[in-house]
């Protein structure tokens, strides 16, 4: 173990051979890019320094078992082409996205505080290593831990960088949700235009023909009315189908479990549904899961030639997990327009994760997990408070009534109405000048005890919630 530690220390010190020339080169590139205007040298300089910082994080994870989270702000998204075919950068328009993308990237690198923290780390790192040489020699293990703490101080993530990453993640989620909503609106518009609207126009034309024939040819008018009645029935069926595509009534009335079972009954396949949810999710979550399952079952029947499928819906604490398996031909691919990309967009609004296993020949298994969509108090995952907190809350609730009401409010009533009865009201035994201050003090103490009894468990639950909430990534 000691020999291995010494080897790690030697490897760490050997990096000075790279770091010292990198410091000189880095300052030269910064001087040329910022002072003289050769800004094209700035991105390579940042990449070089970040590469050394990345190497240091990897070594600290391997040598000292310290995981240093990168602090960099999220990279800017690629430029978006406007309706006129141009790309905008500030107030300037460009025909290609190359210059706007370069400008955005340059501004991102300059404005990121982690860029300059990396430079400061690179400059001070040789000094820190030299100062820690005695510690490295005498107690190399402890020296590596101290050096890891120094690295984490300058190279680790900050609250601002974590917040920026979460904001960027929320923006991407919002955009995906907006795209999904826009796609749904286009689908509904297409269904109404191609189906319901066309049938209504046909019914109107048929009724117009009836008006012309009702006097001259009643039998023909009667036949046309029969056709109009059939067309109205078909139109009503189309409208119900569109409504089910927006938000199925069975989902709103009976919840996710019964809605999925209704899907299973309507499917041409033999579908087995197993639902183990102690509590009903929120309506937006139910809608996303319902339409995802509906799309998967439809794909299995139409494209996978499946005869049977199973749907399993369960909870893992606050996480909702859905698994859909079919015995079809397999080979499902999100890039081939199988509807899986639309499902990903639905799940992205809830930081959902979709995993696909569909080898050629089948079977196909799709697993969807939506983290933190079930409230903690519903999922039963809140940890218990420490015993001292629980005892304190119980004592506060058990005793706060005494100073608030008998010793406070009731004593004040006796005082106001000059009731000549002291009973066990402590304030009334005090000298006249102290009675009202003691009464008001008793009421204040009682109210504070109630507030504290409510505040203790609420802060405990909030702390637990903040510990659990972490940015997640959508993956497939």
Q: pLDDT 10s per residue in the chain (476 long)?
A: 778 888 888 888 899 999 999 999 998 898 888 777 788 888 999 999 999 999 999 999 999 888 898 888 878 878 878 777 888 776 778 888 888 888 888 888 888 888 999 999 999 999 888 888 888 888 888 888 889 888 888 898 877 777 777 776 666 666 566 566 666 666 667 767 667 777 787 788 888 887 887 777 788 888 888 888 887 877 777 776 666 656 677 777 788 888 888 888 888 889 999 988 877 788 888 888 888 888 888 888 888 888 899 999 988 878 889 999 998 888 877 766 557 777 887 787 777 888 888 888 878 899 999 887 876 544 444 456 677 778 888 888 888 888 888 888 888 888 888 887 778 788 888 888 888 999 999 988 888 888 888 777 766 554 444 444 443 333 33
Render pLDDT for 88-110 as a digit per residue (tens, 0 to 9): 776 778 888 888 888 888 888 88
Give me the residue spans of the domains in the chain: 2-73+112-157, 176-245, 254-379, 387-468
Report the run of H or E that residue 173 belongs to, with start and end: helix 159-191
CA nearest neighbour of 388 among 399, 380, 396: 396
Cα gap 58→116, rounded to integer Å: 20
Cα gap 299→332, rounded to integer Å: 9
Contact 353, 474 (CB under 8 A): yes
Architecture of domain 254-379: 2-Layer Sandwich (3.30)
Is the bond preceding 370 in cis, omega lying within 30 degrees of 0?
no
**Strand, coil or helix: 136:** helix
CA nearest neighbour of 278 among 309, 247, 253, 256: 256
What DSSP string describes 188-216? HHHHIIIIIIHHHHHHHHHHHHHHHHTTT
Render pLDDT for 326-352 as a digit per residue (tens, 0 to 9): 988 888 777 665 577 778 877 877 778
174 to each of 177, 236, 345, 475, how far by Cα in Å? 5, 35, 10, 16
Backbone angles phi, psi at 311, to 5 degrees: -125, 125
CA nearest neighbour of 125 among 225, 15, 274, 26: 15
């Amino acid at each position: 173990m000691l020999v291995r530690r010494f080897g790690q220390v030697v490897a760490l010190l050997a990096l000075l051979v790279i770091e010292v020339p990198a410091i000189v080169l880095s300052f030269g590139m910064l001087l040329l890019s910022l002072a003289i205007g050769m800004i094209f040298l700035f991105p390579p300089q940042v990449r070089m320094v970040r590469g050394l910082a990345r190497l240091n994080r990897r070594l600290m994870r391997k040598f000292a078992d310290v995981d240093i989270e990168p602090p960099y702000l999220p990279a800017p998204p690629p430029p978006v082409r406007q309706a006129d075919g141009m790309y905008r950068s500030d107030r300037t328009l460009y025909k290609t996205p190359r210059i706007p993308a370069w400008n955005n990237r340059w501004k991102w690198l300059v404005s990121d505080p982690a860029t300059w923290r990396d430079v400061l780390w690179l400059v001070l790192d040789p000094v820190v290593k030299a100062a820690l040489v005695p510690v490295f020699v005498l107690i190399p293990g402890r020296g590596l831990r101290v050096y890891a703490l120094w690295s984490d101080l300058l190279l680790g993530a900050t609250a601002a960088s974590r917040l920026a990453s979460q904001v960027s993640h929320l923006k991407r989620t919002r955009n995906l949700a907006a795209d999904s909503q826009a796609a749904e609106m286009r689908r509904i518009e297409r269904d109404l235009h191609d189906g319901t609207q066309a049938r209504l126009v046909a019914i109107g034309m048929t009724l117009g023909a009836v008006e012309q024939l009702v006097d001259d040819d009643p039998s023909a008018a009667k036949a046309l009315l029969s056709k109009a009645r059939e067309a109205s029935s078909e139109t009503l069926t189309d409208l119900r189908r569109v409504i089910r595509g927006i938000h199925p009534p069975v989902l709103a009335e009976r919840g996710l479990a019964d809605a999925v079972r209704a899907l299973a009954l309507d499917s041409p396949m033999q579908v087995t549904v197993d639902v183990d949810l102690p509590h009903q999710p929120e309506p937006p979550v139910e809608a996303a899961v319902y339409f995802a399952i509906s799309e998967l079952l439809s794909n299995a029947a139409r494209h996978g030639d499946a005869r049977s499928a199973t749907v399993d819906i369960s909870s893992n604490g606050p996480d909702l997990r859905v698994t859909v398996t079919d015995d079809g031909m397999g080979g499902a691919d999100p890039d081939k327009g199988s509807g899986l990309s639309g499902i990903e967009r639905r799940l992205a609004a809830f930081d959902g994760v979709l995993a696909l296993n569909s080898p050629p020949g089948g079977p196909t298994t799709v697993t969807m997990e939506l983290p933190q969509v079930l409230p903690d108090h519903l999922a039963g995952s809140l940890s218990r408070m420490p015993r001292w907190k629980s005892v304190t809350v119980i004592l506060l609730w058990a005793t706060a009534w005494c100073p608030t009401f008998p010793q406070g409010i009731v004593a004040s009533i006796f005082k106001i109405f000059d009731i000549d009865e002291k009973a066990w009201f402590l304030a009334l035994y005090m000298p006249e000048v102290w009675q009202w201050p003691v009464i008001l003090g008793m009421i204040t103490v009682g109210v504070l005890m109630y507030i504290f009894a409510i505040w203790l468990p609420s802060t405990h639950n909030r702390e637990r919630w903040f510990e659990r909430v972490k940015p997640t990534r959508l993956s497939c």
